[in-house]
């Protein structure tokens, strides 16, 4: 259609929102309508073998519309938000070169920030990663952690004392999040994306979203989530891996270890998923660029019309 041809070169559509809100179903319809390809922005769907617990698009769904950044690495491989941002920009340029619409879909706010804005070291922070390195220092001592820093960022290590734990932790935090040493971040080196993002946020009333979360967890259990985790264990992938420190997987690992009974496991997954959705919404609500749409009782056709209207309105 003329509209999508006119806008495709510079506009990238982002369909974002909390888990279980309905991003997958809608994005497939929109992508077919706009002749698009989907760029996943989900920090867990990148991993092979994590299918049921991440609500990964099925093979049938991927056959309907080309998907990118699904099953790109193994659960024991490190893949940073910074790496995603750089590679996703290349992917988007390739999609546009095929005269297709790039549609970014997901709920990982950090991935989306890395893609759109780039990760500048001063902005880059994750309390969980920071605490992990603090705990590592408590467990093994300053010297061993400092020795790791010398391997991954010798430039920074050269100017730090082994007892400067605050800066050591900061340097390792940036390295883990971005895949690059903090010393590599010079003014202007990490550039923002060369496209215009159009953000569409999907929402539903809280009670409806929570009911959808509960239903999805029940479906995951029925689809074989426990067996999926057992198979991961058989392949040597355990609960300490970053990829598996994820709602749904951690609770099943606890169940298999005997620390949760079956009913409590299911209820805990539901509770933790609701908390996760709340955190996602808190992150996204801070971004005033997002145009929110309550999609409850809306037809795909109505939503597509609103998205096209937003694309035209953001034309300048």
- Shared domain check, 219 and 98: yes
For position 173, which CATH number holds?
A: 1.10.20.140
Per-residue confidence (pLDDT) for residue 1, from 0 to 100: 41
The whole-model pTM stands at 0.79
Give how many domains the chain has, as a whole number: 2
- Shared domain check, 179 and 211: no
- Shared domain check, 131 and 150: yes
Tokens of 97: 């070169």
- Shared domain check, 209 and 177: no
2 pLDDT tier (thresholds 50, 70, 90): very low
- Shared domain check, 271 and 227: yes
Q: 26 lies in which domain range?
A: 2-118+191-313
- Shared domain check, 178 and 209: no
* Residues 257-291: tens digit of each pLDDT: 999 999 999 999 999 999 999 999 999 998 989 99
* Residues 81-120: tens digit of each pLDDT: 889 999 999 999 999 999 999 999 999 998 999 999 876 6
Q: How does the average pLDDT of the chain come out, rounded?
A: 90
Q: Which of 141, 163, 184 is the last residue of a domain?
A: 184
- Shared domain check, 279 and 197: yes
- Shared domain check, 202 and 171: no
DSSP-H helix ranges across the chain? 2-8, 23-33, 59-64, 81-97, 109-117, 127-140, 142-152, 154-158, 165-178, 206-223, 225-234, 249-256, 262-285, 300-313
* Residues 145-197: tens digit of each pLDDT: 999 999 998 988 887 888 889 889 999 988 888 888 887 775 445 566 778 89
- Shared domain check, 108 and 18: yes
54 pLDDT tier (thresholds 50, 70, 90): very high
- Shared domain check, 98 and 16: yes
- Shared domain check, 206 and 178: no
DSSP category for residue 73: B
- Shared domain check, 147 and 62: no
């Amino acid at each position: 259609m003329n509209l999508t041809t006119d806008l495709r070169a510079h506009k990238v559509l982002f369909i974002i929102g909390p888990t279980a809100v309905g991003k997958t179903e809608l994005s497939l319809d929109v992508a077919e309508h706009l002749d698009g390809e989907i760029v996943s922005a989900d920090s867990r769907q990148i991993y092979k073998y994590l299918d049921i617990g991440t609500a990964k698009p099925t093979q049938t769904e991927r056959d309907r519309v080309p998907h990118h950044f699904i099953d790109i690495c193994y659960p024991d491989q490190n893949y940073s938000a910074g790496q995603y941002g750089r590679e996703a920009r290349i992917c988007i340029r390739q999609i546009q070169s095929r005269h297709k619409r790039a549609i970014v879909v997901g709920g990982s706010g950090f991935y989306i920030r890395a893609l759109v804005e780039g990760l500048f070291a001063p902005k880059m922070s994750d309390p969980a990663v920071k605490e992990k390195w603090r705990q590592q220092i408590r467990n093994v001592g300053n010297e061993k952690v400092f020795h790791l820093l010398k391997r991954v960022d010798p430039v920074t290590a050269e100017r730090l004392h082994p007892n400067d734990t605050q800066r050591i932790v900061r340097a390792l935090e940036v390295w883990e999040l971005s895949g690059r040493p903090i010393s590599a971040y010079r003014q202007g080196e990490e550039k923002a994306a060369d496209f215009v993002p159009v953000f569409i946020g999907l929402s539903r009333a809280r009670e409806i979203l929570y009911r959808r979360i509960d239903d999805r967890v029940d479906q995951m259990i029925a689809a074989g989530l426990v067996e999926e985790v057992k198979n991961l264990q058989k392949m040597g992938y355990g609960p300490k891996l970053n990829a598996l420190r994820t709602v749904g997987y951690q609770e099943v690992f606890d169940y298999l270890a005997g620390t949760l009974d079956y009913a409590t496991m299911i209820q805990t997954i539901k509770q933790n998923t609701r908390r996760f959705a709340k955190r996602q919404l808190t992150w996204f609500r801070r971004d005033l660029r997002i145009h929110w749409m309550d999609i409850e009782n809306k037809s795909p056709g109505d939503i597509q019309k609103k998205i096209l209207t937003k694309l035209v309105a953001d034309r300048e």
